[in-house]
Structures are given as structure tokens and as C-alpha cells.
Amino acid sequence: MSEERLAGNFRAVAEAAGAETDVLAVVKANAYGHGAERCAVALARVGARWFGVADASEGARVRRALDAAGFADAEILVMLGLGGRADWLSTVESRLTPVVWTEAQLCCLWGWPGSLVHLEVDTGMGRQGVRPGAELDAVLDLIGAAELVLDGVMTHFCAAEVAGSEKTREQERRFEAAVAQVRAKGLRPKWVHAGSSSSVDNPARGGGSEWLVGLAKSVGARAMVRCGISLYGYCLAIEGAGAGAGSRVRAALRPVMTWKTRVLDVREVAAGETVGYNATFTAPGPMRLALLPVGYADGLRRELSSTNAKPGGWAMVRGGRAGIVGRVSMNLTMVDVTGIDGVRVGDEVVLLGDGVTADDHARIAGTISYEILCGVHAG
């Protein structure tokens, strides 16, 4: 994990988001597999003040790390909300700010007047969040009755990487209506946040934008965008009609994760010998193969396997591309080093890093960089 690259990515994202929009650093899911504590501290050092974690236990770990590093004033948002009363006690203990949206969650906070909450509005994602209208009014009344402090109002876009998305426009309109309801109740949140990495990257963005800044100002709040994947150096491709306008930060991002292993054994195989489970690969001629002590148990996707007919993924050895040969198994993988001179037992092998990215793995495995990064369990 390169703290320098993480810091550089944060700076690039903050610059693209603009001076009037803060960037909440999303470190949930153990910072997308990069280590939440280390990443949070590194990001705090370059100016991050808000951090997004999945749940209270992850929040507690991040809080301890930030406190120890001297960032006691950092704010930590628990994005999955409150599971119940016990969750709330650890939330208080670790000075976390929960995302709330249900009456049941607000009832957990009864008896804790003055507690800060961020209210999530469902404007079209259809997962968590209160819907604008009567549902929102009822929740706002409950926040008032429990004497909680509405510190933030947020929503999440479901198609932030689509340029000129009609769905995003619709979500923006619903969020505007929700913020107007908040204002009508006389509530004055400090933060209005929406949008993710894709919103900042999208040339026709809906998130960290003039729109968001204007909306935040309408209730006297500051705008914020919540970025995860871009801090780790990746971004979804911009899609849709306006995609030709390119992207706003992608070119400045550098992958933060490097995943390495070492060659466990090297063997020469003769033409006709098969390699790995189900003999899906037969050496067409003499080859030299390197055995790697890594497999799908560590997060090296099984879709990276190859057959004679279909190439798979690759690793980088001594600066050369070593294609995966046969099936990736649980703890072992073979790669072809026939064309790479001098490969020996103990040589360093790059599974993710220069020459092979999480986007390469994702393309072959039919998924997104997020899932590849979260799936790496390097020892």
C-alpha cells in the first residue's frame, strides 16, 4: 500500500471537487482491502476530515488509529446506520456519527439529546434512506422530538458514472425537494452530501458540482462528496451520451495497492504435459513454469485461469508478463516464464501493481475493480 499514492489521489480528487466541496474519504470494507486504519491516518495527514466506515466496529478501529495519530477532531460517518441499541453505545463511545433513516433507528437515540446524525434520503437508489414526502416529514419530526442534531443530509446516486443520466437528474430533483422539506422544518444541517468518485470524475457530473454547492447553501450548509475507489487509484469508466467529454480526475489517479508474492518453484515441462486441475492446459512445446504460493483463497480470481484456447490473467516477473497457465487453485497458481530470462525460486512476483491492474483482473473476471480490491487477502 503506497501512502504517497493515496495522498496524491486524495489531493487530485479534492482539487477536482473544488474549493467549495469537501471530500469525505470512504474507508469502509477495510479501505477497499487496503487497511482502514493506515489509510485513514495517511488521509488525515493530507487534510481529510471526514471518514466513511461501514459499521460501528470498523468505526471504533478507525477512531483508535486517528486518536493515536493526533487527529482526535476527525469525523467518522457510519454508513450502514444503526443496527440497534448496542450499536449506538459503541457509536457514542467511539464518537461516531451514524447515518439514520428509520423511525426504529431514531428510537434507539431517544434519551441522548444533542446527538449528531446524518439523515439519508432515498432519491432513487432504492436501498437505504427515507423517501421524500410524508415519510421524510415524519422522520424530521422525530429528530426534533428526540432533540437530535441533524448534522447532515445525504443521498446516494445509483448511476453516477453515466454522463447526462436522466436517472441522476431525477435523483437531483428529489434531493432538492428533500432539502426544501428540511429547510421548511427550520432545520439547518452543517453538511449536505451526495455523489461518489464517479460524480467527481463525470464530466456531466451530478455530485460534487455547482448544483450540490448551491443546494447546500440553500440551507446554510457546506457541500461534501463521498469518495472511495478514486482514493485507491481506480474509477469506473464514464458511460453514456456525454462520455466523449472524457473524465475529470482519472488520469491523475495512481493505483495504491501492490500485491506481491514470490516464486515457490520453477519447473521445465515437455510438450504434451498437462498443468493443473482438469488438465485444462497442455504444453504445446517445452516450457518453463513458475509455481506461485497464491490462489483464489487469497483473492486471486479463478476466472484468471487459462486453457490452450483462452488466455487468462498474468503476473509480472522480472519486468515481463507471465501468463497464468491452467487453473488458479486454492493456494497455488502456475505462470509461464518461458520467455523471461533467469527466473529463480524466491524471485518477486507482482500480482497487482505496475503492469497489471485491478481493472485488468476485473475485465477478465467480469466484475469491477472494487470487488477485486476488496477480495485481496494478502498475508
Ligand X SMILES: *Cc1c(COP(=O)(O)O)cnc(C)c1O
The site for ligand X (CB under 6 A) is made up of: 26, 28, 79, 156, 196-198, 226-230
Least distance in Å: CB of 149 to ligand X?
Answer: 21
| 217 labelled catalytic | no
In this chain, which residue has its C-beta nearest to ligand X? 228
Residue 268's beta-bridge partner residues? Answer: 288
CA 15/CA 208 separation, integer angstroms: 11
Reference 16, options 148, 202, 181, 235; nearest CA is: 202
Report the length, in residues, of the chain.
379
In DSSP notation, 164-202 reads: T-HHHHHHHHHHHHHHHHHHHTT---SEEE---HHHHH-
- Residues of the chain by 3-state class (helix, strand, coil), percent to 5: 35, 20, 40
CA 6/CA 4 separation, integer angstroms: 5
21-26 and 116-120 strand pairing: unpaired
CA 65/CA 298 separation, integer angstroms: 26
74, exposed or middle or buried, with CB in 10 Å at 0-12, 13-18, 19+?
buried
Which of 32, 185, 234, 277 is an active site residue?
277
| 277 labelled catalytic | yes
| Cβ-based nearer residue to ligand X, 28 or 301 | 28
CA 254/CA 6 separation, integer angstroms: 8
Q: Is the dihedral of CA 67, 71, 73, 76 positive or negative?
A: negative
Beta strands in the chain (DSSP E): 21-26, 50-53, 75-78, 97-100, 116-120, 149-154, 191-193, 222-227, 259-262, 265-269, 274-275, 281-282, 287-292, 314-317, 320-325, 333-336, 348-352
Instruction: Write down the residue that cell numbers 493506515 correspond to.
Output: 38
How many CA atoms lie less than 13 Å away from 357 in the CB half-sphere?
Answer: 14
Cβ distance 9 to 231 under 8 Å?
A: yes
Residue 296's beta-bridge partner residues? Answer: none
Cβ distance 312 to 324 under 8 Å?
A: yes
| Cβ-based nearer residue to ligand X, 178 or 275 | 178
Instruction: Indicate which residues carry an active-site annotation.
Output: 28, 277
